[in-house]
Amino acid sequence: MNQPSHIAIIMDGNGRWAKARGLNRTKGHEKGAETIREISEYAAQHKKINYLTLYAFSTENWKRPKIEVDFLMKLLEKYLDNEKETFINNDIRFQAIGDRSVFSKKLQTKIDELEKLTQNCKSLVHSLALNYGGRDEIVRSAKKIISEGGELTEEAITKHLDLPTDIDLLIRTGGDHRISNFLLWQASYAELFFTETLWPDFNSDELHSILHAFKSIERRFGGTT
> Any idea which residues carry the catalytic annotation?
12, 61
Tell me the sheet residues that pair with 178: none
Please answer whether residues 22 and 184 qualify as being in contact, where contact means their C-beta atoms are separated by less than 8 angstroms. no
Q: Whole-angstrom Cα distance, residue 90 to residue 25?
A: 30
CA nearest to 186, candidates 159, 166, 163, 160? 166
Element (H, E) at 205: helix 204-215
The sheet that has 191-194: what strands, in order across it? 92-97, 124-132, 51-58, 6-10, 169-172, 191-194
